[in-house]
Amino acid sequence: MDARLRRVNKEISDCKNDKTSNITLELVDNSPFHLKGSFPGPEGTPYEGGNFEVDITIPDAYPFQPVKMKFITKVYHPNISSASGAICLDILKDAWSPVLTLKSTLISLQSLLCSPEPNDPQDAEVAKHYTTSKASFDETAAYWTQIYAGGPGPKASLKGDNIKDKDNKKGKGGMMDEIAMAGLEKAHVEQFESLGFPKAKVIDVLKRLNYRGANVSSISEDRIVEELLK
């Protein structure tokens, strides 16, 4: 039997037999080389309670070349692209070793959620948010976990029918989400919205300028209006 197939089969069955790690692997399109992995968000983090799904592609040269992974579930994290789910992690690149397995790699992803590395970001905007205001970042990350990964959410007030809006966040009902989604304060957005700017644009500009936490005092309102007028 092909060494790669044997190894992948073994890895999949190992994962099935291991009930304690809560990591699952399942086939996509019946090919053992395209898998979907999932793991629970680590405890004590904003990702707690969520279930995170990862798209796994096994390259031809596996295990001598690293496995290709990206998040299917949207994650608000400095080292994970909020748009594409691409992951910035050394073991998926040059630090890969053939003794690493799908399971151990997924465990590494889980621990990446525990300890973000904002100095080596995949998503610069998220990383900025993380470094300026950790509390606000945690709130947003928990919100994303709730919306996309089925987590409990940061506050009880945000729970409820918002989950249904996850696919039409551009719609009217989703406006409220959009603000929390971008990790902004509702009051700030409304302040500029009342000047007559469209909400989406306000959110976009405030997000770009990182109008959060301590930064709020250092960015003048004129500067924001200037950006909004561009």
Partner 1 sequence: MSDYEVSDDEYYYDDEEMMDGTQDDDEYDEMDMDDDYNDYNDDFKVDTVPKKKSYEIDYESLSQADVEELMKQDVEHIVGITGVEECAAAILLRHSSWNKERLIEKYMDNPTGLLVEAGVTVPEQPEPTTSGSRAHSVSASSPSTKRSTRSSSKILSSFVPSSRNSSSKVSSSTTGSSSTRTSSTLMKRLSPDPSPTNSNEPFTCPICFDDSTDLKPMALDCGHMSCSGCWQAYITSKIRDEAEHCIRCMAEGCQIVSPDSFVKKVLTSCGDSSMMGVDVEANKIAWSRFQELLARNFVASVPSLKFCPYPSCTNTVKCTDAALKSSLTTIVPTVSCGARGIPGLEKSSGEESGNNNKNSKSKGTSGGSGTSSSILANKEHKFCFGCPIEADHRPVVCAIAKMWLKKCEDDSETANWIKSNTKECSQCQSTIEKNGGCNHMTCKKCKHEFCWVCMGPWSEHGTQWYSCNRYDEKAGVDARDAQSKSRASLERYLHYYNRWANHEQSAKLSVDLYAKTEKKMEDMQLTSELTWIEVQFMKKAVEEVEKCRMTLKWTYSMAYYLAPGNQKELFEDNQRDLEKAVEDLSELLEGPIEPEDIPNLRQKVTDKTVYVQKRNEIVLDDTAKGFHEGRWKWNVPVEGFEDDEAGFDA
Q: Which residues bind partner 1 (CB under 8 A)?
A: 3, 6-7, 10, 14, 17-18, 20-21, 42-43, 61, 63-65, 89-91, 95, 97-101, 103-104, 107-108, 110-112, 114-115, 117
Alpha-carbon distance 106 to 18, whole Å? Answer: 14
Q: What CA–CA distance (Å, rounded) separates 17 from 10? A: 11
Shortest Å, Cβ 148 to partner 1:
21
Cis peptide before 154 (omega within 30 of 0): no
Q: How far is the CB of 9 from partner 1 (least distance, A)?
A: 9
| Minimum CB distance to partner 1, residue 171 (Å) | 38
Closer residue to partner 1, CB minimum distance, 100 or 175: 100
Q: Choose between 87 and 189: whose C-beta lies nearer to partner 1.
A: 87
In the bound complex, what is the minimum distance in angstroms from residue 67's beta carbon to partner 1? 13
Q: What are the two backbone dihedrals, phi and then psi, of residue 20, each rounded to the nearest 5 degrees?
A: -80, -30
The encoded tokens of residue 92 equal 């998926």
Tokens 């890895």: give the residue.
11
Instruction: Classify the phi-psi angles of 57: left when phi > 0, otherwise alpha if psi is within -120 to 50, otherwise beta.
Output: beta
Helix residue ranges, H only, the chain: 3-17, 102-114, 124-132, 134-149, 175-181, 186-193, 199-209, 215-218, 221-229
Catalytic residue among 88, 91, 176, 219: 88
CB nearer to partner 1: give 67 or 224. Answer: 67
Q: Which is nearer to partner 1, 65 or 84 (CB)?
A: 65
Annotation marks residue 88 as catalytic? yes
**Residues noted as catalytic:** 88
